[in-house]
Amino acid sequence: MSPRCAIWARVSKDEQESGNQLGQLRAEAARRGLEVTAEYVLDGLSAWTGAHREQLRQALDDARAGRYEILLVWALDRLERGGIEPTLRVMRQLRERGIQVVSLQEPWTDAGGEMQELLTAIVAWMARMESQRRSERVRAGLDRRRAQGLPVGRQAGAKDRRPRKRSGYVARWERERQVQR
């Protein structure tokens, strides 16, 4: 019987495509002779805001139930972006359930042991810093536009009418507003 694996693919923006990750992950599963028993595909869910946590809980529950032995991820930062401790916590929870995490972008995840924990901490720190820097760049761009007297945000008459997902702080604000009424 082939070892069972689950695939984890996540993109944080609606404009991004999880299919890029899925194709490579499915090919890797086939190359290793793994039976794919679950796929966790998170489109437009930011790990920075924690919007991915419900799916992560499901993946951990499925691991506890023995649905798979290996979790294939494109990169560790697709799994968690909260920094060192949250990333190590997720990795420990999976390891305690007997799950090996294999990352296509970080081949050292196959090795395991103490070195894996150190490298995971470094990658987690870098992912958090990248997210913080991206936020800082966006804020700097908005501040620059305001200082120049240019409009910020969606402009009246904009043609893009597709519905937006409500998650993170927007969803929390809407819930709190409903409670106040």
What pLDDT was estimated at residue 27? Answer: 94
- Tell me the sheet residues that pair with 7: 39, 72
For the chain, the structural domain boundaries read 4-128
- Rounded distance between C-alpha atoms, residue 128 and residue 77, angstroms: 9
Centre a 10 Å sphere on the Cβ of residue 34 and count the other Cβ atoms it contains: 21
- Rounded distance between C-alpha atoms, residue 174 and residue 170, angstroms: 6
Amino acid at position 166, single letter: R
Amino acid at position 13, single letter: K
What pLDDT was estimated at residue 168? Answer: 65
What pLDDT was estimated at residue 6? Answer: 95
What pLDDT was estimated at residue 29? Answer: 95
Assess contact for 40 and 25: CB atoms under 8 A.
no
What pLDDT was estimated at residue 165? Answer: 62
What pLDDT was estimated at residue 67? Answer: 94
CATH topology of domain 4-128: Rossmann fold (3.40.50)
What pLDDT was estimated at residue 166? Answer: 64
Divide the 181 residues of the chain into consecutive groups of 10 and give the mean pLDDT of each group. Answer: 89 70 93 94 70 86 94 87 82 89 83 70 77 82 88 75 65 76 67
Q: Is the pTM of this model over 0.75?
A: no
